[in-house]
Structure 1
Amino acid sequence: MMDSLTEAVLAGAPAEVLEREQVPEQYTAAHLRAEDVGMFNDGGDKDVRRSIRVGNVPMPELAPDEVLVAVMASAINYNTVWSATFEPVPTFGFLKRFGRLGGLAARHDLPHHVIGSDGAGVVVRAGSAVRSWRAGDHVVVSCVQVDDQEPATHADAMLGAGQRIWGYETNFGGLAHYSVVKASQLLPKPAHLTWEEAASVLLTAATSYRMLISDKGARIKLGDVVLIWGATGGLGAFAVQLVKAAGGIPVGVVSSESKAKVLRALGCDVIINRAETGLGRADTPEETIEQGKRLGRIIRQEVGEDPHVAFDYIGRATFGVSTFVVRRGGTVVTCGSSTGYQHTYDNRYLWMNSKRIIGSHAANLQEQAELNRLVAQGKISPVLSTVYPLDEVGEAARLVQNNEHIGKVGVLCLAPREGLGVTDPALRERIGAAALNPVRSI
């Protein structure tokens, strides 16, 4: 039976009604159980459908600087897969360390972990110290929680030791009917997007923004040639759009013709299909150099020069090639390693050619706000490919685990169906369906 607060949210009730309705004692959430941590020790398939549970969990207490959000939709990120496979480490260790800080941080150390690091929804409660948000506000949620009393946070939130990724290093994540977040995680929901579209953008798009556009990343400029590995993944598809918007030349690498079609829809200038060009995994120094030379020839044939920047979140399978193929003075920017964390590369090509490697993680709130502004203006589009209901979240995560997805995989939480949440239909109509979500139109 649906509780009265949820009924009010779905009815679009005004602030005074939402504030009057009682917060439920339990809510439905996708979560992991501490007792399942060793379930994959048999060495078999680490199928995330076995470890992700959907059911009721207790509603946590709200801290003064926090907001309770009724989550209309969320999305799958690769950290959902890491969480559900308990690799590289079980996330319950993160929750235990967080809980040791004491006070309200102790709430996070529970035998269950509500996962998910994306979300769009409606504010239903605001803590006593919250000034900028009130019940009824439509919001998107940043994945980054910070300690605003830590000095480093005020230089760059991503440098603070107290920075944590919500729903991965904290509890009460976004793959749920409700979520507890800090007020400093919230941004206005782009009014022309549906709940599921809005929920699929912020984590990956803002990560790509910091990597490419921010002064903390590669800081690309007009005319830069940018090599983008995995160009139809969540990160890569936003990277293509950002490079185009910045006046650069995206060179997208994909593994199939179907993914190449998606890149064409995104307007990618140069498309390299690994299956057609003989590019494969480089496991030895010799293979790395051979693959780098082959890729370099292809890029020079297409654009006449070597790339200024390599956008790499693939990791072990590509990193050595990235450091080889960028031009003298070029940059490799990395935010992850989906094929393995231990990278090898020939350092001669780095130091002798004055290249740079930049590590980049998520994005600070200002960078996320700048990205969200571009989305709200219709200059950056969602890359949503498919949507699952919350009770099938295991299937959604499995799709990402097996790399069978394109763009982002959305999850409906409280939203009863797709297509809801648009409050600026005129802008949506001006942009048009194909341009609004080019990946799904394919």
Structure 2
Amino acid sequence: MDALTEAVLNNASPEVLATAPVPRDYPALYLDAADQDMFRGVAAPDVRSSLRLGRVAMPELAPDEVLVAVMASSINYNTIWSALFQPVPTFGFLRRFARQGRWEARHDLPYHVLGSDGAGVIVRVGDGVRRWKTGDHVVVSCVYADDQEPATHADGMLGAEQRVWGFETNFGGLAHYAVVRASQLVRKPAHLTWEESASIPLCAGTAYRMLVSDRGARFKQGDIVLIWGATGGLGSYAVQLVRNGGGIAVGVVGSAAKARALRELGCDLVLQRDEIGLSPHAGDDPAAAIDSGRRLGAAIRARFGEDPHIVFDYVGKATFPISLYVARRGGTVVTCGSSTGYDHRYDNRYLWMKLKRIVGSHAANLQELSECMRLVELGRLHPTISETYTLDEAPEAARLVQNNGHLGKLGVLCMAPSPGLGVTDPARREALGEARLNPLRLPVAV
């Protein structure tokens, strides 16, 4: 074990952390550029084949960056896309980024360190960093924005050079160390463990922007919100945000086990796809999508007497045409991804003639994430981690996410030697209650 890692694990003082030498390399989960064609012609690719665990070189730190000792991370679907090299290999992102200059050139390597979530300890700060210092406990936003770009000052997500860390950049969070811009940092909630904290930023921040931010669906009290994949990482935070804001959460899931978990989470109406006859072909057949939309709309009206104001859709091709049909006249479909495919087919009459809106949303700017994390610190929003894996088990966790066999978020211990560490306000944790903090960590067979 290197001296800096040992100091971090021993909860050393900032002064000790600052003097311990930075190791020349570190363990990380990465992709090898030589593997980019390994799944060509493979009908059922398995991400465990491309995800590698090994030591990578420590990069130089830019003036506006910090080096974080990553105690924990989590699995997001962008790691699945990266590991499948689909829809394009992410090494192309790194090459394009590298063309900008010296610091960006570091990212163009024959390996790509993945991971877009992280919680840990700052162990080094660049000369240009003002608001953070060695020893601070932080969580990391996935948004890698250029603060010298004018559009960034209107909204960090609007800059042409905005990227997702660990997906469109290198040196991500599924590793013992990560290189992070200071503009990605938010204070870690003191009552949460490392793995709980790491499970929040990307998914909760994205759900917050989609629903609560004025740049999203503009959710308000009393709105009926249909949430696809409501026990997934994004969906489980969406359910909480809707309930907290006085809305009515309608969740759609694919199994009885997930339905039970969703009821524990407090969803107002839980629907199983097979029980209401949603077509598996809706993404390819507009007629099947309309038929499924009628069935889904009838189930929602039977309970509440009206159609959804908002549909929260990150599933994509398989659900989007149903979403567009089932939203009420003047309603909104907000989308942030397409895990089942990007090629959406839908009957456009139900968009223009019913005066509906489609809102595209992507991650969250730093202010939105800060507001979201405030809800966490207040005990109004809770992590939805269901299981925790070690870094060498991360490919198995990624495979679960690839097959939609998970609940909520899957945490990954990076430098942390065991779950449950990192709590610096145990009294607050006890006051909130362990079961309330982990509503999806239940003995549910998925």
Coarse TM-score class (shorter-chain normalised): over 0.9
Could you tell me how far apart the structure 2 residues matched to 1:181 and 1:363 are? 16
Which is further off, 70-79 or 46-55?
A: 46-55
Report the secondary structure of 1:157's partner residue. Answer: coil
The C-alpha deviation readout for 1:181-219, integer Å capped at 9, x for no partner, is 000000000011000000011100000000000000001
Match for 1:146: what amino acid? A
User: What fraction of aligned residue pairs are identical, expressed as a percent?
Assistant: 67
Correspondence 1:389 to 2:390: yes
Distance 2:181 2:242 in 1: 31
Q: Distance in 1 between matches of 2:24 and 2:132?
A: 23
SS at match of 1:181: strand
How many pairs align? 441
1:283-312: CA deviations, max 9, x gaps?
Answer: 312111111111111000011110000000
Instruction: Please name the residue that 1:260 is paired with.
Output: 259
Alignment of 1:195 onto 2:187: no
Q: Is the 8 A contact 1:209 1:367 kept in 2?
A: yes
Give 2:162's aligned residue: 163
Q: Is the 8 A contact 1:434 1:441 kept in 2?
A: no
**Equivalent in the alignment of 1:354:** 355
Shift of 1:280: 2.7
Structure 1 length-normalised TM: 0.99
- 5 Å-filtered alignment, 1:34-73, equals 34-73=33-72
User: Per-residue displacement from partner, 1:159-187 (whole Å, max 9, x unpaired)?
Assistant: 10110000000000000000000000000
Q: What amino acid sits opposite 1:362 in the alignment?
A: A
Q: Runs of at least 4 residues of structure 1 off by over 4 A?
A: none
CA distance in 1, matches of 2:64, 2:361: 27
Runs of 5+ consecutive residues of structure 2 not aligned to the other structure: none
CA distance in 2, matches of 1:290, 1:55: 50
Q: Secondary structure at the match of 1:275?
A: coil
Determine the structure 1 residue equivalent to 2:345: 344
* Structure 1 residue 396: Cα displacement: 1.0
Contact 2:388 2:412 in 1 (8 A): yes
Q: TM-score, normalised by structure 2?
A: 0.98
Q: What SS class does the counterpart of residue 439 from structure 1 fall into?
A: coil
Contact 2:279 2:288 in 1 (8 A): no
Q: What is the SS of the residue equivalent to 1:117?
A: coil
Tell me the SS of whatever aligns to 2:275: helix
Partner of 2:123: 124
Contact 2:279/2:289 (<8 A) preserved: no
String of CA shifts for 1:362-382, please: whole Å, max 9, x gaps: 010000000011011111011
Within a 5 Å distance, the mapping from 1:12-51 to structure 2 comes to 12-51=11-50
One-letter code aligned to 1:109: D
Deviation at 1:45, TM superposition (A): 2.7
Match of 2:3 in 1: 4
Give 1:298's aligned residue: 299
Residue 406 of structure 1 corresponds to 407
**Pairwise CA distance, 1:275:** 2.2
- Equivalents in 1 of 2:43, 2:260: separation in Å? 34
Residue 184 of structure 2 is matched in structure 1 by 185
In structure 2, distance between residues paired with 1:113 and 1:274: 37
The one-letter code sitting in structure 1 at the alignment partner of 2:191 is H
RMSD: 0.8
CA–CA separation in structure 2 for the residues paired with 1:44 and 1:337: 19
Matches within 5 A, 1:322-333: 322-333=323-334
Whether 1:172 and 2:174 are equivalent positions in the alignment is no
- How far apart are 1:150 and its partner, in Å? 0.4
2:315 aligned partner, one-letter code: I
Post-superposition CA distance 1:48-98 (Å, at most 9, x none): 111111110000000000000000000000000000010000000000000
C-alpha contact (below 8 Å) 2:301/2:307 kept by paired residues: yes
8 Å CA contact 1:124–1:136 kept in 2: the answer is yes
Letter in 1 for 2:111: H
Q: 1:420 — aligned with what?
A: 421
Report Cα offsets for 1:88-142 as digits up to 9, x if no partner: 0000000000001111110000001000000000000000010111111000000
Q: Distance in 2 between matches of 1:14 and 1:303?
A: 56
Contact between 1:226 and 1:251, CA under 8 Å: does it hold in 2?
yes
Offset at residue 347 of structure 1 (A): 1.0
Matched position secondary structure for 2:440: helix
**SS of match in other structure, 2:295:** helix
SS in 2 for 1:159: coil
**Residue aligning to 1:88:** 87
Quick check: 1:138 aligned with 2:140? no
Q: 1:346 offset after TM fit, Å?
A: 1.1
For the residues of structure 2 that align with 1:407 and 1:37, how far apart are their CA atoms? 29
